[in-house]
Amino acid sequence: MEINSETKIYALIGNPVKYSLSPLIHNAAFEELELNCVYLAFKTKNAEDAINGMKCLNIAGGNVTVPYKVEVIGYLDEIEQTAEKIGAVNTIVNKKGHLKGHNTDWIGAIRALEEKTGIKNKNILMLGAGGTARAIGFGVKEKGGNLTILNRTSHKAKELAGEVGCSYGGLDKMEESVDYADILINTTPVGMYPDTKNSLVPEELLKEDIIVFDVIYNPPKTKLIKDAEEKGCKTINGLKMLVYQGAAAFEIWTGKKAPVELMEKVVVRS
Ligand code: ATR
């Protein structure tokens, strides 16, 4: 598609943005659907100025990444209901200067999970209580899962569990918690490049009937995922969540079905 004066611009704001795969995913999708749109990453020094800039330049929408997913809420005109509950925005739509914030991280995670398993009434053990855990925690509760949160800093697990309405504990509760889990979700960076030799879950605790979801996508096969595969567990890696959160954002912006397979192909190739 030729870039011209009608081209709609979608922007990623965050810092750093250098390693983001979102430009790759969305530009491939825009091209596939022959939409006159382009997606660019902006290393952003200040969230408020970035939002004013989006309005001023009539940027059509975009994504928000670390460290602005929470802060940006204060500068938007409207927040979609679930994003408001989660307290974080990763997607913005600009309708005639009215900026609305959405959260598609939880949509991506839940879609990735639901591809492999139901969630309702399942015992779900989630490791971590940071931003990603908030999005997934609310999503899982919304779908009727029985959630337990374990976190290194247990008061943070307590805080998030209080908001979501679920059980919690410190990482010392790992053994008993894994024992009754149907689904195990890692939202911490343990296992992420360059820390690829580590996993928070001792491999001997994994049994083949647990479904293991690691939100890390670099590497796509973390130690946790490899250990789980060896035990014969069904596994889900972070690339799925990445692609599905992008697909959900794309659909909000364009109203068109996202070319998910293509989006997946470009991230796997990258
Ligand atoms: P994100 O937005 O990616 O979720 P975050 O909000 O910084 O990132 O949250 C990171 C989560 O991973 C936190 O729950 C953190 O635990 P603490 O609350 O104790 O900081 C957890 N985490 C990070 N490094 C960890 C490590 N080495 N071992 C265990 N948990 C870790």
Q: Whose CA is nearest to atom 21 of ligand 1?
A: 188
Residue 117 has pLDDT above 90, yes or no: yes
Assign 45 a pLDDT band (cuts: 50, 70, 90). very high
Look at residue 241 in the predicted model and tell me its pLDDT: 97
Whether 199 lines ligand 1, by a CB cut-off of 6 Å, is: no
Per-residue pLDDT for 187 more than 80?
yes
- Look up residue 197 and give its DSSP letter: T
Residue matched to tokens 């979501």: 164
pLDDT tens readout for residues 74-100:
999 999 999 999 999 999 999 999 999
- 270, pLDDT greater than 90: no
Q: Residue 208 pLDDT more than 80? A: yes
Does an H or E element contain 56, and which?
helix 47-56
Residues with a catalytic annotation lie at: 69
30 pLDDT tier (thresholds 50, 70, 90): very high
User: What percentage of residues in the chain have a pLDDT greater than 90?
Assistant: 98
CB 243 within 8 A of CB 267: yes
pLDDT score recorded for residue 123: 98
Are the C-beta atoms of 145 and 126 separated by less than 8 Å? no
pLDDT at 21 over 80: yes
- When pLDDT is averaged across residues 168-187 and rounded to a whole number, the result is 97
- Nearest-angstrom CA–CA distance, 233 and 199: 16
**Inter-residue contact 153 to 172 (CB < 8 Å):** no
Instruction: Give the separation between CA 130 and CA 151, rounded to whole angstroms.
Output: 9
The predicted model gives 158-173 an average pLDDT of: 97
Which atom of ligand 1 lies at the shortest distance from residue 195's CA?
27
Q: Write down the pLDDT at residue 219.
A: 95
| Cβ–ligand 1 contact at 131 (below 6 Å) | yes
Q: What pLDDT does 190 receive?
A: 97
Nearest to 104 by CA among 258, 220, 261: 258
Ligand 1 pocket, 132 CB below 6 A?
yes
Shortest-distance Cα residue to atom 16 of ligand 1:
152
**Residue with CA closest to ligand 1 atom 12:** 188
Looking up tokens 């969630």 gives 119
Joined together, the tokens standing for residue 17 give: 């943005």
Q: Is 151 in the pocket of ligand 1 (CB under 6 A)?
A: yes
Within 10 A of 67 (CB to CB), how many other CB atoms are there?
14
Q: With a cut of 90, say whether residue 1 has pLDDT above it.
A: no
Q: What is the pLDDT of residues 229-268, one digit of tens each?
A: 999 999 999 999 999 999 999 999 999 999 999 999 999 9
